[in-house]
Amino acid sequence: MPKEARVTTPRAGRAVSWSPDSVVLGCDYNPEQWPESVWKHDVALMNEAGITLVAINIFGWAEIEPGPGEYDFTRLDAIMDLLHSAGIRVNLGTGTSSPPAWLTTLHPEILPTAADGTRSSHGGRQAWCPSSPEFRTAALGLVQKVAERYSSHPGLALWHVSNELGCHNALCYCNTSAAAFRHWLRARYSTIDALNEAWGTAFWSQRYSDWNQIQPPRTTLSSANPAQRLDFSRFSSDELLDYYRAEAELLRGHSTIPVTTNFMVTAHIRSQNYWQWASEMDVIANDHYLDHRLPHPISELSFAADLTRGLAQGKPWMLMEQASSAVSWQPHNLAKQPGEMMRNTLTHVARGADTVCFFQWRASRHGAEKFHSALLPHAGTDTSQWRETLDLGAKLHALESLAGTRVESSVALIFSWEAWWAAEGDAQPSQDVRYLEQVHAAYEALRANGVTVDVVAPGAALDEYELVVVPSLYLVDDHSVDIITEFVERGGVAVVTFFSGIVDETDGIRLDPTGETPPGAFHDLLGGWTEQFFPVLPQTELVLDDGGIAHTWAEHVRPTSADVVAEFASGPTLGGPAITRNRFGSGAAWYVATALDEPTFADLMGRALDEAGVERLDLPAGVEVVTRSNDSDRYRFVINHGAHQIAFPADGAELLTGTAVTGSVTVPAGGVRVIRLTVEEGAMR
């Protein structure tokens, strides 16, 4: 029979923060998948590997509430106590990420609906509509019981709300979602006339005369209203955030243990505007998996880590999930090579992660993730994977002194989820212009110059930076434009790339109907404007008169005060400006009117970095150098993703090998070195 719930009250004196005094190694554990006879062995191996934080009850709903209102915490009690007795802290999931079959059978209306009206069946995971009141009632009932029972458990270190909110169910088009969308629109626009104006409903006779006429952007015969799609994306992000708040509020009513959820800052997920979510988290946590479908997977890993640090406002953050080797959801689930797990992990640590966790601890026997890698593989402990797990635990222990330090950077890159949503709508000039690809291209050009980048939100303060990069910021508000403009006017240098500043927050073209002002948000700053876009077909090479190569996009640019740096020597705008530079106030703004290839973009970015006075490093291909520091110490990471040994100038103590470094450090192919710099070098900021 189920035990009675243990009702507890919060302990006094707990601070709502996550500030480990060392670099933490953690993992996801699914004890519900294993008999209790396995648990003690697993926990002993966790101790051997240096695991100090374990996430449990992520998908535990069906086990702890096997029927409506029937609770059984027997096994969850046991694993909580077992982990605590072994000195391992618990990242406790609320268990609400996937509803049990009894709930969707009682309330099939919980199941989400696609844009074409198809309702999902039970199974898989996250089979719930974010707007469903029935789901929320049942889920919060479970959270209440979990909070009552475990809020004062001595092993509890962190509350983990749901799991990867919006990974599969971010957009639901059911009638319940439609009603919630209309409620959201009323709050945003107040009047139906204001909505009509914002959505431009005079086009195609789309004008609404009553709120009840408005539906989600379901499947249509032709292109849907882009402003409607944009607002539905905003609504959907907000709806999931509101759900997070509901769970978090309940948890905070029972304890002052930190509360968070795991973000998905990664290339294939774009449904949440995490700039709006970040302030709701007691610690920023991210899940990241290497994506071999991308042209530069390692560069994307570094970008995602830098963006996560941006969400954390520069503070240390948590990597909640990563893979020890292969994942289970790509067309080709490639295993990591020897040393790659260490290298990937330390890339995250270099870029601000003080807690690094893995999905998962023990490889599953059943289910859709049975071929997903784990710290403890199917083959057990007599494996290279297990030996790498032990080595990683030892290496992270050697880095404990850098916990709490911050990453050094004087370059900012502006990134926007709203611009991402808007730029990739229907009926754009070219479907080959993908927002994130342009962001990654700019990031890779900076990385090729050996600089570390802070990724910041539109409108963020730019006072601490020397160079700001604005890649294809299609949608931008006036305040953000002013911040960038003032940054350059005060002496900063900006690089703005094509398809930036085109629309306002309503996805409406930025123009003056009288023709008195050129179109676009940045025409004053850039000293020019674009008369017409000229996208080009795939595989078309554009040549610039300085020898540079470009592709995808060209424009007819009309300089007003800008100097022409390079012209098109081929293509539809032959002889027209491809790159310009404008003196503005005490600074300068560069504009790139095309998609440069990698060497050309890296060269241009190097010129802008030099003008801004940013030190850049001449690094071999595949080498990253990142520095973390506090008031007294500096730690330099040299990460060699390449196939050849390199030497890098440094003086200090190498922490991973425990050796002294004088003059330079040797980093083997595929290796990482972390140098605690000498006082003299540490003072050179």
At which residue do the structure tokens 């989600």 appear? 216
Q: Are 133 and 182 in contact (CB under 8 A)?
A: no
Radius of gyration of the CA atoms of the chain, in A: 26
Q: Are 32 and 56 in contact (CB under 8 A)?
A: no
Amino acid at 440: H
Query: HSE of 97 in the Cβ direction (CA atoms, 13 Å)?
Result: 22
Environment class of 141 (CB within 10 Å of its CB; exposed 0-12, middle 13-18, buried 19+): middle
Token pair listed for 396:
């992270």
Measured in whole angstroms, how far is the alpha carbon of residue 135 from the centre of its chain? Answer: 27
| 424 labelled catalytic | no
- Write the DSSP symbol of residue 334: P
Q: Are 26 and 64 in contact (CB under 8 A)?
A: no
Rounded distance between C-alpha atoms, residue 143 and residue 123, angstroms: 21
Rounded distance between C-alpha atoms, residue 532 and residue 507, angstroms: 18
Q: Are 9 and 152 in contact (CB under 8 A)?
A: yes
At which residue do the structure tokens 């009553």 appear? 210
Q: Are 254 and 10 in contact (CB under 8 A)?
A: yes
Pairing of strands 623-629, 555-559: unpaired
Rounded distance between C-alpha atoms, residue 49 and residue 390, angstroms: 5
Which of 321, 388, 418, 624 is flagged as catalytic?
321
Rounded distance between C-alpha atoms, residue 500 and residue 101, angstroms: 47
Which of 164, 247, 418, 444 is flagged as catalytic?
164
| 164 labelled catalytic | yes
Pairing of strands 623-629, 634-640: antiparallel
At which residue do the structure tokens 């900021």 appear? 685
Provide the annotated active-site residues.
Answer: 164, 321
